[in-house]
Amino acid sequence: MVSSDRIWGQISSHTHIEKNPLSASTIIMARIKSLPAELTDRVIDYLHSDKLALSACSLVCKTWVPASRYHFFQRIFVSLAHDNVDAFVELLDSPASTFFGYALGLQISPRPNGYHHSVRYIFNAISHYLSRLKIKLLAFFWVEWDITGKELEILFGHFATIPALDLLNVRFSVPKQFIEFVTSFVSLERLDLYHIAFRTHDFAHTTPFTLSPLLRNVDLSLRNEGLHRFTWFLSAVQFPPLTSLSISSIDDEDLDVVQAVLQSLGPSIHYINLEFGRYGIFHLKILMLLELIIQPCASAGLRLNLMQNTNLRGLHLYGLDVTNEVCFDIVSQIASFDLEVIEFNLSTRSPNSVLTVDWNQVARVLTQPRFMKLREVRLNLQCIGRHYHDGTEGLIRQQMSRLGNILDLSVW
Confirm if 185 and 210 have CB atoms less than 8 A apart: no
Q: What's the mean pLDDT in 359-371?
A: 91
Name the helix (H) or strand (E) containing 118: strand 117-118
Residue 279 has pLDDT above 70, yes or no: no
Burial 49-80 (b: 16+ CB within 10 A, else e): ebeebbebbbebeeebeebbbbbbeeeeebeb
Residue 78 has pLDDT above 60, yes or no: yes
3-state secondary structure of 384: coil
pLDDT tens per residue across span 246-274: 888 877 788 889 889 988 887 887 887 77
Q: Residue 206: which residues within 8 A CB-CB, separation 6 or more?
A: 175, 176, 179, 232, 236
pLDDT at residue number 289: 42
Least confident interval from 12-16, 198-202, 230-234, 392-396: 12-16
pLDDT at residue number 237: 95
Least confident interval from 273-282, 296-305, 377-386: 296-305
Which long-range contacts link 157-162 to residues 24+ away (Cβ below 8 Å)? 158/127, 158/130, 158/131, 159/184, 159/185, 160/184, 160/185, 160/186, 160/187, 161/135, 161/187, 162/135, 162/136, 162/137, 162/138, 162/187, 162/188
Percent of the chain with pLDDT over 70: 76
CB atoms inside a 10 Å sphere around CB 179: 19
Residue 180 has pLDDT above 60, yes or no: yes
Q: In the Cβ-directed half-sphere of 239, how many Cα atoms lie within 13 Å?
A: 26
pLDDT at residue number 290: 45
With vertex at residue 302, the alpha carbon angle to CA 258 and CA 211, rounded to the nearest 5 degrees, is: 5
Q: Do the strands 376-383 and 407-411 form a parallel or antiparallel pair, or are they unpaired?
A: parallel
pLDDT at residue number 44: 74
pLDDT at residue number 375: 93
> What DSSP line would sit under 264-316, residue for residue?
HHGGG--EEEEEESS-----EEEE--SEEEEES---TT--EEETTS----EEE
Q: What's the mean pLDDT in 325-330?
A: 69
Residue 131 has pLDDT above 70, yes or no: yes
C-alpha 399/C-alpha 358 separation (Å) is: 8
pLDDT confidence tier of residue 229, bands split at 50, 70 and 90: confident
22: phi then psi, degrees, rounded to nearest 5: -65, -45
The rounded Cα 329 to chain-centroid distance in angstroms is 30
Residue 118 has pLDDT above 90, yes or no: yes
pLDDT at residue number 298: 40
Confirm if 318 and 293 have CB atoms less than 8 A apart: yes
pLDDT at residue number 284: 39
pLDDT at residue number 292: 53
pTM above 0.85, yes or no: no
Which region, left, alpha or beta, applies to residue 200 given φ > 0 means left and ψ of -120 to 50 means alpha?
beta
Confirm if 67 and 42 have CB atoms less than 8 A apart: no
User: Of 349, 355, 315, 345, which Cα lies nearest the Cα of 332?
Assistant: 315
